[in-house]
Structure 1
């Protein structure tokens, strides 16, 4: 295997979209996925990128984890957050001594990756574009959005500049940031609200625009931002989410404007529902709620911050996963103060 090959571990919505764009640009890419029918479809026909942003069929190289051979200097990890620990353990033998892993995921997976292979071999990444895995070999690319990359310590290195170059093939507006943790915690605030939208059958935009449920989104944002501040993180905003609107001293009107801006942003995407909603309603599988939301509550407890809304949100998602509740507005109502 060419040591310049880009190994993308997880070829779903995020990894598959990135892989298709990189391969189309002439990069040497190998996509790895545990879903055998998806791998077979990619091997036979490639990846079909569909949707309003762009539509194309891209031939790619793909295999299941057991078929990976050799070691790689550049690895993009794009599995679901709750699969991170297992994935990093499986791919670690294929990581070159001078290699690194970029976390193109949702959540604080950089912490898990760094614990396994070392912070010096871990690179942070923030992605907010809308994509859905539709079926083997097919991915919906719903909208463009913010993409950022950064070393965990904020430094600028040749490897992070190379990752930026790769990400700009996909998203020309991708940025290099000295504050990747700020982006990641900003995404947690935004993400907590998207988890709440998955409690109903309605779209993300419809949920966020519901005046009667503003207090839920307001409180979720406040709880996440309080934990970020306690960890000395300066959260960053994007695509309508304004962290300052959920910090101590901010007015409810500022938060209301941010939630309205998030609703407006999500009105203009072919990805109308969150990936969490899709896991619950379509794929009927466990979500990332423990790896993304429950972990915030655990970090909050360590510093004495109460997060009752986040904890209740985790409980409700589990209730739907286990068939104890349905996705409905009445389920979302349970988060009202």
Structure 2
């Protein structure tokens, strides 16, 4: 049976993966309220299409941080791609390069960031940074990312501690040596993987500490995990170059707003001064259209990329992205939008259902 939508890839991937690997990828925090609401919130939003427009040509191209991408559909940082496919993040990076979109490599990748860069040297790559308790390690990661051609730092702010992920605890999840987190180890340790991860995010990282990172890099800094206007305003005050509305896929604090619901508040707070992105719950092309209409510059995919990777490696990732891009193209045409600039808030109607 052909795989024609993202839900098909999800079902196929679940059949292929072990129980513990599947629940690591799909896992959520506590009762999973936010995880479920990320998807449900999109279904509460209705569209107001405009007709009798010439939609014979529809252009999905846009830019993020000044770099052109083929569509506003990119790849969020997710950990341990080798759980889904032997070549791991290398395959993901190659798919992103071929489709001319942005891939954010996770600090918790199963491949070293230099190997990811080498796999797709012409691709647009950003690097996810969780600021570590060890400042020297943090500094080294930033310098390595910049030296490897990554074009932005995406600092994840919503993991001062790990969320309460019950399924991982029930499964007593232990990452196999082949997917141990190479960017958090010295070159010597990478040759002989340690039995446990010894580097953890800082619990004391504060707004004023952003300046320490700004002093050691020329890369744009984007803050990932912002959900409120107060933090959006603080991000502006601290001169970052972008905001990523995200609740970590519902894997951190359960009961926070769905990303699409928080997006409007954040977009209003920044007043167009910096770009705003989002992830969480995007599963169809019309979801992409809704997010852009509410002010997102671009959406990013997390779990669906791993579904595609599980199914067919690099080709599966490309298929997932191409399906979503085609659905988005169709949704634009059916709404009377011929370019990204024509996707405006007038397109949105909120439902009470």
Question: TM-score scaled by structure 1?
Answer: 0.27
Question: TM-score scaled by structure 2?
Answer: 0.27
